[in-house]
Amino acid sequence: MNRPIRGGLAAAALLLGFTSSLAAQGAVVPSDQREILEAAGQARSKGEADAPLRIVEISDFECPYCAQYYHETYRVVDSLYVQSGIARYVWISFPNSRHRRAWPAIEAAFCAGAAGRFWEMHDILFETQAEWTEAEDPHARFVDYAGRAGLDEPSFEACLLNDQTAPLQVSDYESALRSGITSTPFFIVGDSLAIQGTVPPERFRAAVDSVLTARDIRQP
């Protein structure tokens, strides 16, 4: 009578151990570059796919003004417009040539995005900007951040070492240049209104609401 119970407990223990090992492993970055680019490209958008408004941010993780926007305004925009279903938010990379660690930081965010963790890495990079921009080895920092973001570190590091997201980064950069963008942060609201530089939450909200009013879209 006791044998089936012991066997069941053993099987349950094995199953729990297997589940725990999966949880410890974290989200795995694909090894195929096509999968990486497709997943990373999709992951840097957030909000309802059919939202009536689109807000595009052109940014650089090493840019101090981009970090200022993140700390002062981004969460307000996210709460009012993205989480409410009014806007779809898209992040586009545009590294400043004077920011020597902007490119690898963007690569870290896109590699994280390939495993569905773009926004987690996005937040960490801005919150720790002073740390990794001054670090002797930013690569090691990025791998550590990947662990914090719930990523499988070996697959994430392989993505970095093989420059897997370079085509997406180049495409972003060239697209921004063709659009006449020369600095960050830069925002495009509803494909019609441009906002250049960091603006406080109330001014950003006024700008977005003006587009909503013009299009007869409900305001938050």
| CA 190 centroid distance within chain | 20
DSSP 29: P
DSSP state of 79: I
Q: Where in the chain are the domains?
A: 28-214
Look up residue 104 and give its two tokens.
């690898």
User: Domain 28-214, what architecture?
Assistant: 3-Layer(aba) Sandwich (3.40)
Tokens at residue 134, please? 């001054």
Confidence of residue 13 (pLDDT cuts 50, 70, 90): very low
Q: The dihedral of CA 103, 104, 109, 110: what is its sign?
A: positive
Q: Is the pLDDT score of 213 beyond 70?
A: yes
Percent of the chain predicted with pLDDT > 70: 89
> How do residues 82-112 score in pLDDT, each as one tens digit?
999 999 999 999 999 999 999 999 999 999 9
121-138 per-position pLDDT tens digit = 999 999 999 999 999 889
